[in-house]
Amino acid sequence: MRGFRPAASRDCLGTVPLHPAAMSGKSLLLKVILLGDGGVGKSSLMNRYVTNKFDSQAFHTIGVEFLNRDLEVDGRFVTLQIWDTAGQERFKSLRTPFYRGADCCLLTFSVDDRQSFENLSNWQKEFVYYADVKDPEHFPFVVLGNKIDKLERQVSTEEAQAWCMENGNYPYLETSAKDDTNVAVAFEEAVRQVLAVEEQLEHCMLGHTIDLHSSSKSGEFAAALALGHWHGLLWRKEHALLCQGGMQWKAMAALTAVA
Ligand SMILES: Nc1nc2c(ncn2[C@@H]2O[C@H](COP(=O)(O)OP(=O)(O)OP(=O)(O)O)[C@@H](O)[C@H]2O)c(=O)[nH]1
């Protein structure tokens, strides 16, 4: 039986030293959130990635906690703010208020725990509802099958990949926080997914800014699309306030001008 430790008392809350790019305000702050059943290894993945430590007797999380890590992905400097949540049902009311403003959701299960895999849909729905995601089809989810170091699996790679394909074509990665397998790759993939959405948004905004000055039908269509995106991307609003000179600021400024 594992013990409990209130998130607020965890001594690992905090940040690693910022990269110079982050300190100069050129780093993008991205909030990613780890969701999944209690015991699948969310805290272990976060701690492995940020502190490179693994605790075989990890405590259950109560509420939420977060750690920051700076990284560079495809030439972009990013400060990743990783939010670890309590997976146990009894802590639902403590974790859900923290979903809003997330840029990416890492849906996590354990490959040796079938129930945790079957609960992925519930986690996805809970996130969409409490994060108030207006456009779930385009929200960047990444699915992690953790504990692949364990010999007895209850979920095959093929089955997990099929679920990802059917539920939004999400990237799927198999990880082990214990062995440090694919942990960095998983968080980098989360960043890539967010950046891909950002690039689409920026591309879209550039197009709309030009078209809105036109009185043509295509201009009207572009305006409708722009406003559609505005509503679809309202979930980003709070996050934009947290960004440090990243793309969101530019995108939000453009959207405000359009609206
Ligand atoms: N073998 C193995 N054990 C792991 C791995 N990741 C985590 N564990 C163990 O699984 C147990 C649960 O890990 P946690 O990281 O606390 O799980 P969690 O998802 O954060 O759990 P909650 O805080 O209850 O939501 C701990 O005993 C960990 O040591 C892994 O990759 N392989």
Q: At what angle do helices 247-258 and 183-211 cross, to 10 degrees?
A: 30
* Ordered domains of the chain (ranges, CATH): 26-183+232-258 (3.40.50.300)
Gap between the Cα atoms of 46 and 106, Å rounded? 11
Name the residue of 4, 44, 96, 117 whose CB sits within 8 Å of the most ligand 1 atoms, as the mutation to test its pocket.
44
Task: Examine the pLDDT at 4 and tell me if it is beyond 50.
Answer: no
Gap between the Cα atoms of 21 and 243, Å rounded? 14
Q: What pTM value is reported for the model?
A: 0.77
Gap between the Cα atoms of 99 and 43, Å rounded? 16
**Contact criterion met (CB below 8 Å) for 259 and 230:** yes
Per-residue DSSP letter, 154: S
Q: Ligand 1 centroid to 60 CA: how many Å?
A: 8
Integer angstrom CA distances of residue 99 from 33, 85, 133, 236: 7, 9, 10, 12
Span 166-189, average pLDDT: 98
> pLDDT tens across 78-130, in order?
999 999 999 999 999 999 999 999 999 999 999 999 999 999 999 999 999 99
Find residue 65's DSSP bridge partners.
Answer: 84
176 lines ligand 1 (CB under 6 A): yes
Token pair, residue 216, equals: 């043509």
Integer angstrom CA distances of residue 92 from 20, 202, 236: 37, 35, 23
Which ligand 1 atom is nearest residue 62's CA?
23
